[in-house]
Structure 1
Amino acid sequence: MLRSGEGNQFRILDSLKSGTRLEVLQEGENSGYTKVRTQDGQEGWVLSRYLSNQPIARDRLAATQKKLEQTESALKEARDQLQSLRQQRDELASSEQSLQSRAGKLSSELDRIKEVSSNALTLDRRNRELQESNQQLKKEVEVLTAENERLEAKKESDFMLLGAGLVGLGVLIAIVLPWLKPTRKTDNWA
């Protein structure tokens, strides 16, 4: 109750509801009353024991409930975010395992490539040696083929010469042999 003076004997100016904001103007001496001003500018006296620096319990409860709702909403968001982060973590773990497996395969492939490449110089040298050897063998085959053809031609010419020599010998024998043979004298008159 807002009164016109310090005490119950003064008239009531307004009936104040619990939680009404008041501006303290003056505290009474030993009367237990405080002079206040309402938000609409009305001034009067109120028992000091009804005044509080804190909001009333109903307002504090409403503020606490609102804060609780906000906290629950933030908690729900945090849980959703945690679930999302767990899924991302699981995906990353799976991806990491895949990458580690691939890295192992690539490492094995790299080792094999290193081994092959270390033999590459030896293989290249051996390849050049085999190519040179192949070239020499081709030259030898060409030489032997030419020699074989020459020998075939010589064989034919030798055969022809032998045949000609035998024919010549046969003719010579046919001519000389009758001369060498003693001839008998025969009488043609008989």
Structure 2
Amino acid sequence: MKSKLIATLLCSLAWLGTAQAADRYISDNVYAYMHAGPSNKFRILGTINAGETVTQLARDPQTKYIHIRDADGRTGWVEGEFVQSEESFRSKFPKLESELKKTKEQLASVDERHEQDVLDKTNRLQQQEQELTELQSELGELRIEHDQLQQENQRLSSLMDDKEHQMRLDWLLNGGIVAGIGALVGFLLPLIPWRRKSRNQGRWMN
């Protein structure tokens, strides 16, 4: 019995000397036992959690058992099918959780910037709408003033036309009166008897 144990220990030491330590992962969704030797004939030292990161120390080519060391420093043998080189989900989970948290923070920052951008654009839009309303009001007032000025201009133009027409009538009337008086005078002058001075009176006066 002792000779078998010594032989097993020597084989283990030989495997330890030739194998290179490497990180390995216990498969997810399994419940693996750690044995004292490279088969299930050796006593169970404990269990190893699924997905846990372990260090591979050696491998038995006959039984396919792998000698591992866990994060607590325990060493033992587990079935090779339970050990994988690909990182387990449990090992990835903290990293994924950290990345998810970072992504959420980035999304929150993006959402905050987006909300602020929307708020700024909304404020600018409201300001532009207010300015547009004021401009429309001013434009309406200018249109009213323009209409009033146009009406006043039309009234003054009409008044000026009336005055010009009246002045023309006055000129025609005054000219007609003057012409009538001239014609009357021209007609009456020949009819007026003019007294001639006598020659004797003229001589006496001399």
Using structure 1 for the length normalisation, give the TM-score. 0.47
Return the structure number with greater relative CO, CA threshold 8 A, min gap 6. Answer: 2
Point out the structure with the larger strand share.
Answer: 2
